[in-house]
Homo-oligomer: A and B are copies of this chain.
C-alpha cells in the first residue's frame, strides 16, 4: 500500500533523503533539477512591453525572437514607465480589495528590473481611469513621476521616486496629459487650444504658463499621444486631420507652425469633412517616434473625418526634420471576427524601438500581432500571445 501510494505521490525530497532512505545515489552523475527563479536580463533595445485593459500585467517580449521574457503585474487600466537607467519599472495602477468592490487603492508601484520583485507601493490620492494615454510618465533624470488625476479637478500628482513618496499635486483645470521636461517640469494639452507648462519646485507653489491657443480643440484637436524627448524638451504633436506641430517644452514653451502629413506624401492637406475621403491618422496608440532619427511612424487609413479611432492599413514614415514622407508600409488587413459590423479591426497600436536598427511593433485586438523592420517595412515575425492596447519600449 505504501509502495502504491508513492506511485506519483507528493514527496518532499532532498539530498539528505538518500541516506535517510538508505538508497544508493546514482553514479551516473545525473543531477536533480533545482527549482529556481529566473532573473530578467537587462533591457535591450529590442525588448518591448504590452499591456491592456483586460490584461493582468505588462508582458515583456523580445522583439528579435517574439518570445515572452516575463511579466510585470498590473491592476486596473494601468500605465507603465521604465526607469531611464533601466533599473526599475513603474506601474500606475488601481485596485479594489474585493475585485470590483471594496477599498480602492491608487498607487505607483515600483518593481526591480532584474528580479521583478515588488520594491514599493506609493499610495496616490487618486488616479484618472482612462484607457492608455500619455497620462503617466517620469522625467529624464528618473527622479520624478507625474500622474494625471481627474477628481475633484484635473490635476497632476507628482511622485518623488527617490524618496518613494508623493511630492504634491498641481491643478491644471481644462488640461490633460503629462509631457515631462527638465528636472521639475511638465506640459499638458488644454481644451482651449493652448499648451500649459508647469514648473513644480520641490517645495513652494507651482508656476503655470499657457501658450496662446494654437489649435482648435473642437474642429481639429491634437491627439492625446504626442511625443516628448524628456531630456531636450523637444516635442511632436499631431492632429486629427494630420497636422504635425513641433514644440520646445520648458517653463515658457514654444510651438512651431504645423505641417501636413498628407502634403508631405504629395496629397492635399486633409480637412474636416465628414464625407471628405483622405488618408487619415487613426487607431489607439496610433503613432510612434524614433528619437535619434526624428522619424515619426503613423498608422494611416483611408477615411472621412471622425474616423480617428479606425486602425491603420498603412504605416507612414515621416522625417520630422525635413517634413518629408520617407516610406509607406502597407499592412495586411486583419480578418474581422465575422460577428460584428464594424470595420475597425486593423492595426490599432504601434511602437518603435529606439536603436539604430529599429523594429516596429504592431498590435490589434484580434491577436495578429507582428514585428516589422522599421527601415524596410518587412514583416519579420508574429508576436506570440501579444495582446492589449499598450506598447512601451526602453530608451524612450
Contact = CB atoms under 8 A, between A and B. Distances in A.
A139 to B, nearest CB: 26
A101 B111 CA distance: 13
Nearest to A7: B218
A74 B75 CA distance: 16
A76 B218 CA distance: 45
Contacts of A102: 95, 97
A34 interface: no
6 contacts: A4-B218, A73-B99, A75-B99, A97-B103, A98-B121, A101-B118
Interface of A: 4-5, 7, 56, 73-75, 95, 97-103, 105, 118, 121, 218
Contacts of A121: 98
A108 B181 CA distance: 50
Contact of A56 (B7, B74, B75, B99): B99
A75 B98 CA distance: 7
B105 A95 contact: no
As for how many copies of this chain the complex holds, the number is 2
A23 to B, nearest CB: 22
Given A56-B99, A97-B102, A98-B105, 8 more contacts: A7-B218, A73-B99, A73-B101, A75-B98, A95-B97, A97-B97, A97-B105, A98-B121
B97 A56 contact: no
A279 B292 CA distance: 64
A118 B101 CA distance: 10
A39 to B, nearest CB: 19
Nearest to A4: B218
A74 to B, nearest CB: 8
Contacts of A98: 75, 95, 105, 121
A237 to B, nearest CB: 21
Contacts of A118: 101
A7 B56 CA distance: 37
Nearest to A75: B99
A7 B118 CA distance: 46
A155 B204 CA distance: 59
A121 B4 CA distance: 43
Given A4-B218, A218-B4, A56 B100 contact: yes
A279 B105 CA distance: 53
Contacts of A99: 56, 73-75, 95
A121 B75 CA distance: 23
